[in-house]
Each structure stands twice: as C-alpha cells, then as structure tokens.
Structure 1
Amino acid sequence: MSLATDVAAPTTTHRMTVLRLGPDAAQFCDDAVVEEVPVAIAYNGIVHAVMLATPDDLEEFGLGFSLTEGIIADAEELESLRVVEGCDGIEVRMEIPMERFMALKGKRRSIAGRSGCGVCGVESLQAIARSGQPVPSGGRLSVGAVERALPRFAERQTLHRATGAAHGVAWVNAAGEILAVREDVGRHNALDKLIGWLVRTGVDRRGGFVLTSSRASYELVQKAARLGISGLVAISAPTGMAVRMAESCGVSLAGFARGDRLVVYSHGDRWV
C-alpha cells in the first residue's frame, strides 16, 4: 500500500477573540475552537462520501473508514492512498481492486455526512441493522486496566482540552497502557482513525479494548466488530441499539467508566 499526502501540516484549531460573560463581569479574551473541514472519500477517482472531520491523521482515517464500512476486507486491498488539499476541503484518494469498486454500487452513501452522525447517507434502515461477523472473545478484560487508563486518557486528549469540542478514542492494552489516542469532531471519525492506526502498526489486539470519551452508539460497536475488537468501554452511556448489536456481535460493551467502577451491558462473563 502506497501512502502519500500533499496537505500541509493540519490546522486542527482556530484562535479567535470571544466574549466571556459572567454574573459580575464581561471580558474579551483569546480562545480556541476545533476545526472541521469537508473530507471527500474517493475510490478509483469517484467520490463515495463527504464527511466533516478534523483535518489530521487522514491517512489512518481513509484506511479505517474503508475497513469499517466493509469497502475492503483487509489493508492489502488498499492499493494506494493519497491525501490532497483542494479549494473547498481535502480529498482522500484511494485505489482499490475493481471488484471492490464495483461492489460500492450496492453501498451508496449520500454525498454529505455530518460530523456527529454515523448513519448519514446509509441507503436503508436494513443497512443500519446489519450485524458484523461474530467477534472472538479476545481474552479477559480487566476493570483494573480501565482504572489505570482513565487518568492518562484525559491527559492525552489535547484537542479536547484546548477546545472542549472533540471526541477521543484510545487503544488500551491488557495492562492498562494507552498505546494511541485519536481525536475528531465526529466520534465515529475518531474511531476510524484509531482503527487505521491499529491496522497500520499491526498491534496485538488480544486482551485490549477501545476506550471512548463519548456515548457508545451503535456505529462505534459496528466499527469495532468489523475489526474483531472484542471490548468497547465508554465514559458515558450506551444506546439500546448499541447494546443489542454488541450482544449479537460478541463485543463486550461497558459504560459509565469511573475509576474502578463501570457498568457492563453485554458479555459480562469476560470481565475480571
């Protein structure tokens, strides 16, 4: 797989003057807001979707998106990837085998996807309900590992600390060590970036899990299941659809992670 980028160092935040209002005073001061830009996902010269995303780690985003959307079956099928900057946004140009490209006709998405929505452009409700392949158990999951990871996770969400407007996801190994963190205005975009990193680096996923700062919605479970990730832990709550999908796919889903406490919603027998 050939990877290249023609985009300058990404600008993920924008500085601006804001007016802070309080009960006793009004003050102008400097602040940062997170950037989101249109990112066109193109295969073999044809744009498949346009997502609003934070403009960093886009090579990983393109790879992760291709895998979690089922456009390719493994990274070897991605023949090349090039990130190109245009007047109105950024294009991730990828080349895939012709049989995979032809199969996209049955997986059409609308031309635009909002940053906070994982269903935008899915053609039918049946497509939303599709379940992934059953996930192997992947080893035991540890409450202690979650407890060790949580403080480090907060420290490493630099974009969120600067702006308060970015979702973060981390890969945590069985010992509770955070190996990577990715952030984006869209929680599903952040997970695609992390999955791209996991596949590119070949990290051993046994006994590890994804830790997310957002609620656990169905698309996060679906994306994790497609890559055989057996554990997903959220700081916030899951949705009912996410729980049902996790149960059917073999993903152990937990929420409300707080120190040494969490709530397990599916496959609780894997936890120690």
Structure 2
Amino acid sequence: MPSTQFSLNIRTQPSREPALPCHETSEQARELVRGTSLELYSDGALHGRTAMVAVEDPLRITVSGLEDIILSRTPGDDEHLIAGHLFSLGLIRTPADILGLAFPDNDPGHAVVRLRTTKPRRSLGPLPGGPRIDPEGIFRLRERFEQRQRLYRSTRATHAAALFKADGELLAYGEDVSRHCAFDKAVGLALENRLLAGVEIAMLTSRLASDLAAKAAMARIPVLCGFSAATSAGMELAERRGITLIGRIGRDSFTIYANGRRLDV
C-alpha cells in the first residue's frame, strides 16, 4: 500500500540563522501513515476495506541529569518536537541552549540531548497588552488552518497547531497524533526560525486544557484558540496569565472563555 514518507531536515553547516545544533541524526525516512486492512460494519453486515492509519511511535529523550522523557508521537519533525518540548519545560530559551542532539546507533526512537543548563526557568508574569483581534479574522484563520491538515484528512487521527501573527501570517505549523506534540512541533519550528517572539495567535484542534494554556503562557502567546471547548482549569490559567482564550470555533461563531478585551468588537 502507498505510504507517506518524511525525511528529517537537519542543517549541519552553520548559517546566519542557524538551526538547532544537531551533530548526529537519524537518516531513516519515517512513515507518517500506513495502509492497513480493516472491516467496516454497515447495513447489517461486515465489509472488507483498506484505510490509512496514523503511525504512532515512542520517542525517548535522554538529557543528562534528568529522568528520560517519553513522548508518544507521529515520527518525523523530531528536532522541532524536542526543541518545543524542552522550551515548554523551561529548559531552553533559544536554539543555542541545545549544545548537541544525537540519535545514537541511528535509532530514530532515542534522542540524546546536551543542554547548556538543566535548571528550569520560571515563566514570566501575566501577558500585558497584546494585539487587537478582528473577530471575523478568526474564521479566516480556521480556513487556512484546515487547508494544512493533510495528515488528518488521510487518517482522521491527528491533531494540529498553527502559530499566526494577528494579520493572519502563518509562522509555524505542527501536526501529530498527540495534541501536545503538535503544539511543541509548531513552537520548536518557530523557535528555530527566530519567529516565536512574533507569534500572536496559536490555534489548536484540541480542547483548551490547562497544560496547553501553560505552553502558550511559556511561549508568551497572547491569544490561544481551539476548535473544541475549554476546561475549567484551562480557563483559570488563561485568566491568571492574561491569555485571551477562544474555543468552539465554528463557521460563524466562537466562545470567549477568558480575557476577551483583545477582540476588536
């Protein structure tokens, strides 16, 4: 059956805007989807069919002095995932804080990372100010977002995260079977390209829980949007951290859960 292949894109030579300093990496292209035979029940009978399913594999991240981190993720884009996850934990601020990243024995499921420090930084206080958001623009962002969800259209099994400027410019995108990993991939890509400081809106396919609001707070993203609803803890964290929280984005309506002051109504 056909499958989608993804090759890790690592720059090993220095440049004016260096990528993550990865001295070794897996050269193995990774499967994102896999064809499989299934049975479908309809009209009172079972029918054979083939379908594409999203690949989910574990990634073990070893950082000296810390317990190993295990992420269950869609393979590929692992360098951005690692950078975004370490950023969300407060272990790095910039790509330069990663002194080395290697996949020993060419094992794509195990990454060894050397950091400048393993002392987590504390997140900053509430987000002041922020952009003025055109409410109708939220629907346009959703349309752009959905056009990028190629893996979801193939499998119906993945989450995605997109990072925008307030004017609608797409700065970074991540897609993964894990909603957390999708967000981390987008943050890691923006971090690599020195664009994270310009992110004003994060849009997610998932519910707006406290752990995702905490990732937005760590990245200093003032507006967090989602296709699903917010949780009570997500609302409370967003309110405390000054994040505008918008959920249940439909075709012509959405719900404001916290700090609606940024909406230009």
Shared fold (TM-score, shorter chain, > 0.5): yes
User: What count of residue pairs does the alignment treat as equivalent?
Assistant: 244
**Aligned-partner Cα distance in 1 for 2:225–2:152:** 18
Shift of 1:208: 2.6
Once the two structures are superposed, the pairs formed by residues 44-83 of structure 1 within 5 Å of their partners are: 44=64, 48-83=68-103
1:193 aligns with 2:185: yes
Shift of 1:206: 4.3
TM-score w.r.t. the length of structure 1 is 0.81
1:17-69: CA deviations, max 9, x gaps? 11111015532121011111110111138652111111121000111111101
1:235-271: CA deviations, max 9, x gaps? 1101000000001111111101113421111111111
Unmatched runs of 5 consecutive residues or more in structure 1: 108-129
Residue of structure 1 equivalent to 2:14: none
CA gap 1:163/1:81 in 2 versus in 1, 3 angstroms = same
1:181-228: CA deviations, max 9, x gaps? 211111111111110011111226447311111111111110111011
Tell me which moved more, 199-208 or 163-172: 199-208
Identity fraction in percent: 27
1:2 aligns with 2:26: no
Secondary structure of residue in 2 paired with 1:66: helix
1:72-120: CA deviations, max 9, x gaps? 2433211122345766x611221112xx23x47xx9xxxxxxxxxxxxx
CA gap 1:208/1:145 in 2 versus in 1, 3 angstroms = farther
Shift of 1:141: 2.2
Shift of 1:148: 0.9
Q: Which amino acid aligns with 2:72?
A: L
Query: Structure 2 residue aligned with 1:28, among 32, 41, 48?
Result: 48
CA gap 1:266/1:84 in 2 versus in 1, 3 angstroms = farther
CA gap 1:271/1:154 in 2 versus in 1, 3 angstroms = same
Unmatched runs of 5 consecutive residues or more in structure 2: 1-19
Residue of structure 2 equivalent to 1:16: 36
Residue of structure 1 equivalent to 2:238: 246
Query: Structure 2 residue aligned with 1:38, among 43, 58, 73?
Result: 58
Q: Which amino acid aligns with 1:76?
A: A
Q: Is the 8 A contact 1:146 1:260 kept in 2?
A: no
Residue of structure 1 equivalent to 2:155: 163
**Aligned-partner Cα distance in 2 for 1:248–1:229:** 14
Q: Which amino acid aligns with 2:39?
A: L
Q: Is the 8 A contact 2:245 2:258 kept in 1?
A: yes
Tell me which moved more, 261-270 or 196-205: 196-205
Query: Structure 2 residue aligned with 1:94, among 80, 96, 113?
Result: 113
CA RMSD of aligned residues (A): 2.4
Q: Is the 8 A contact 1:59 1:83 kept in 2?
A: no
1:131-189: CA deviations, max 9, x gaps? 75322433222222211121222221111111111111111222224343211111111
